[in-house]
C-alpha cells in the first residue's frame, strides 16, 4: 500500500513548486481528480475490513482535506500576486494633462456661452437667476406689463399667436423676457434682484433680426433704488462684458409701457477705417432698453408703489455677442454650419474671463 506520508510530501512539494494556476490545476487533477492518486486510495476503502477502514478512513480523508486546503491556499497566493502585478503595471498618472485632441473636441455655441458669461457677471453683482415659460398668455406678455388690449405697443411686437381655444383665448410665444418680471414678483416677496435669460420670438427676419432670439431681463426692486443704480449696473456690466476698464454710455429717452421714465442705452464705439471698436470713438450704438419700473406694473403684482420702486432692463444677447466677437450676420447663429461653429465656437473648457480674473486673485 502506498505510504500516505510519502504521498503527502510529494504532493505538497509539487504544490510548492507550481509556477502558475494552470500548473496547480494539473496537480489537483492528478491527486483529487477522478483518476487521481488520493481518489484511488479512497476507492480502496470499500474493500477493507471494518477495523482497517476505521483506521485508514480518517487518514485518507484527512490527507484529502489537507491537500485540498494546500491547493486553495496556493491559489489565493497566485491571485494576490496577479493583482499586485496588475496594480503595478496599470498605474495611471492622473496629474498628466489630457490629450490635446480630447479636450479640443466639439465646440460650445457662442450664444449659450455668452449667456453663461453674462449671468456670471450679474451673479457677481448679486443678481439671482429667474426663469419663465417660452409659451405665454396674453396677460403675462402684455396686460400685466401695462400693455392693455388695443394698445399700439401690441402691434409693434409682431407676435406669434397660437390658435384660440373655445373661449377665444390665444397663447403666444413670448415677445420679450419681461413676463418673467411679473411671474417672479407674483411668486416672491420684495426686495428683488434677478436676471432672466431666455429665448424670445418675433415674426421678423433679416440680417439683424431672427424669429427666435435671446434676451436677458434684469429687475431690481427695493425701497430706495434709483436711476443712478441702474446706470452703474449697466456701465459695470457692459465694461466687464467687453473686458474694458470703463464704458461710456448714452441714455436716450424712449418709451416702454412698463417703465417710466424709459431709456434706450447706447455704447460708445468707433467705425473708423471700416473696423468696429467698442468703448472708444465718436459713434454710438444701441444695445438695450431700460427704465424705472412703472407704478402700474408694481400694483399689478400687488406691490405698493409708494413703498417699492426699482429698475428693469432688457438686453439683446445675440446683438451683444455679434458686437463682441465681430459676427456680422445674426442668421449665422442658427445655420448650424460646423465650419462656422469651429471658428466662432468656444472650447468646452473655456472659462468666463471674470472667473479667471477672480482666480488670479484680482477680484473686480
CB of 316 to ligand PHE, least distance (A): 8
Which lies closer to ligand PHE via its Cβ, residue 203 or residue 364?
Answer: 203
Tell me if 265 contacts ligand PHE by CB under 6 A.
Answer: no
Which lies closer to ligand PHE via its Cβ, residue 31 or residue 177?
Answer: 177
Which lies closer to ligand PHE via its Cβ, residue 259 or residue 268?
Answer: 259
Residue identified by cell 496588475 is 86
Reading the block at residue 102, the C-alpha cell is 480630447
Whether 271 and 165 have beta carbons less than 8 Å apart is answered as: no
Name the segment binding ligand PHE (CB under 6 A); options: 47-55, 81-89, 163-171, 311-319.
Answer: 311-319
Let me know the angle formed at the C-alpha of 339 by 334 and 341, rounded to the nearest 5 degrees. 50
Closest residue to bound ligand PHE by CB: 314
Reading the block at residue 308, the C-alpha cell is 417699492
Phi-psi region of 340 (alpha: psi -120 to 50; beta: other; left: phi over 0): alpha
Contact pick of 110, 289, 310, 352 for ligand PHE (by CB under 6 A): 289
Contact pick of 38, 63, 71, 312 for ligand PHE (by CB under 6 A): 312
Tell me if 257 contacts ligand PHE by CB under 6 A.
Answer: no
Q: How many residues does the chain have?
A: 364
Cis peptide upstream of residue 101 (ω within 30 degrees of 0)? no
Contact pick of 132, 197, 257, 314 for ligand PHE (by CB under 6 A): 314
Whether 308 and 207 have beta carbons less than 8 Å apart is answered as: no
Size of the site for ligand PHE (CB under 6 A): 11
Mutual orientation of helices 37-44 and 4-17 as an angle, nearest 10°? Answer: 160
Tell me if 290 contacts ligand PHE by CB under 6 A.
Answer: yes
Which lies closer to ligand PHE via its Cβ, residue 258 or residue 346?
Answer: 258
Contact pick of 107, 176, 214, 294 for ligand PHE (by CB under 6 A): 176
Whether 129 and 119 have beta carbons less than 8 Å apart is answered as: yes
Nearest to 158 by CA among 176, 182, 144: 176
Instruction: List C-alpha distances in Å: 32 to 35, 39, 77, 114, 287.
Output: 8, 6, 20, 73, 88
Which lies closer to ligand PHE via its Cβ, residue 177 or residue 344?
Answer: 177
Tell me if 256 contacts ligand PHE by CB under 6 A.
Answer: yes
Instruction: Collect all residues with Cβ–Cβ distance below 8 Å to 273 and sequence separation of at least 6.
Output: none
Contact pick of 122, 313, 344, 346 for ligand PHE (by CB under 6 A): 313
Which lies closer to ligand PHE via its Cβ, residue 179 or residue 352?
Answer: 179
**Angstrom distance (rounded) from CA 257 to CA 274:** 37
Whether 139 and 170 have beta carbons less than 8 Å apart is answered as: no
Name the segment binding ligand PHE (CB under 6 A); options: 37-45, 113-121, 128-136, 285-293.
Answer: 285-293
Which lies closer to ligand PHE via its Cβ, residue 316 or residue 352?
Answer: 316
Name the segment binding ligand PHE (CB under 6 A); options: 40-48, 131-139, 221-229, 289-297.
Answer: 289-297
CB of 319 to ligand PHE, least distance (A): 12
**Angstrom distance (rounded) from CA 352 to CA 266:** 24
**Angstrom distance (rounded) from CA 209 to CA 202:** 9
Tell me if 178 contacts ligand PHE by CB under 6 A.
Answer: yes
Q: Interface residues with ligand PHE (CB under 6 A)?
A: 176, 178, 217, 256, 259, 289-291, 312-314
Amino acid at each position: 500500500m502506498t505510504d500516505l506520508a510519502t504521498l503527502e510530501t510529494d504532493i505538497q512539494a509539487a504544490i510548492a513548486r507550481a509556477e502558475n494556476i494552470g500548473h496547480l490545476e494539473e496537480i489537483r487533477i492528478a491527486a483529487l481528480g477522478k483518476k487521481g492518486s488520493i481518489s484511488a486510495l479512497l476507492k480502496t476503502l470499500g474493500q477493507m475490513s471494518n477495523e482497517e477502514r476505521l483506521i485508514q478512513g480518517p487518514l485518507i480523508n484527512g490527507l484529502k482535506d489537507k491537500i485540498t486546503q494546500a491547493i486553495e491556499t496556493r491559489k489565493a497566493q497566485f491571485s494576490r500576486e496577479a493583482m499586485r502585478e496588475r496594480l503595478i503595471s496599470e498605474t495611471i498618472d492622473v496629474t498628466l494633462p489630457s490629450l490635446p485632441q480630447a479636450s479640443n473636441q466639439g465646440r460650445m455655441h457662442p450664444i449659450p456661452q455668452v449667456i453663461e458669461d453674462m449671468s456670471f457677471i450679474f451673479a457677481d453683482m448679486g443678481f439671482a437667476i429667474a426663469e419663465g415659460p417660452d409659451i405665454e398668455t396674453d396677460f403675462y406678455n402684455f396686460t400685466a406689463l401695462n400693455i392693455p388690449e388695443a394698445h399700439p405697443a401690441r402691434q409693434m411686437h409682431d407676435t406669434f399667436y397660437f390658435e384660440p381655444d373655445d373661449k377665444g383665448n390665444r397663447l403666444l410665444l413670448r415677445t420679450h423676457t419681461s413676463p418673467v418680471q411679473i411671474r417672479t414678483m407674483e411668486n416672491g416677496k420684495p426686495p428683488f434682484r434677478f436676471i432672466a435669460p431666455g429665448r424670445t420670438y418675433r415674426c421678423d427676419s433679416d440680417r439683424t433680426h431672427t424669429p427666435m432670439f435671446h434676451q436677458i431681463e434684469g429687475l431690481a426692486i427695493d425701497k430706495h433704488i434709483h436711476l443712478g443704480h441702474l446706470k452703474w449696473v449697466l456701465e459695470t456690466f457692459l465694461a466687464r462684458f467687453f473686458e474694458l476698464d470703463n464704458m461710456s454710455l448714452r441714455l436716450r429717452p424712449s418709451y416702454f409701457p412698463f417703465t417710466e421714465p424709459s431709456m434706450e442705452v447706447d455704447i460708445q464705439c468707433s467705425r473708423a477705417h471700416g473696423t468696429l471698436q467698442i468703448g472708444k470713438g465718436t459713434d454710438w450704438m444701441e444695445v438695450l432698453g431700460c427704465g424705472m419700473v412703472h407704478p402700474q406694473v408694481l400694483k399689478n403684482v400687488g406691490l405698493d408703489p409708494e413703498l417699492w420702486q426699482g429698475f428693469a432692463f432688457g438686453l439683446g444677447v445675440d446683438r451683444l455677442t455679434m458686437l463682441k466677437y465681430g459676427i456680422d450676420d445674426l442668421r449665422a447663429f442658427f445655420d448650424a454650419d460646423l465650419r462656422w461653429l469651429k471658428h466662432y465656437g468656444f472650447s468646452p473648457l473655456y472659462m468666463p474671463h471674470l472667473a479667471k480674473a477672480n482666480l488670479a486673485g484680482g477680484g473686480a
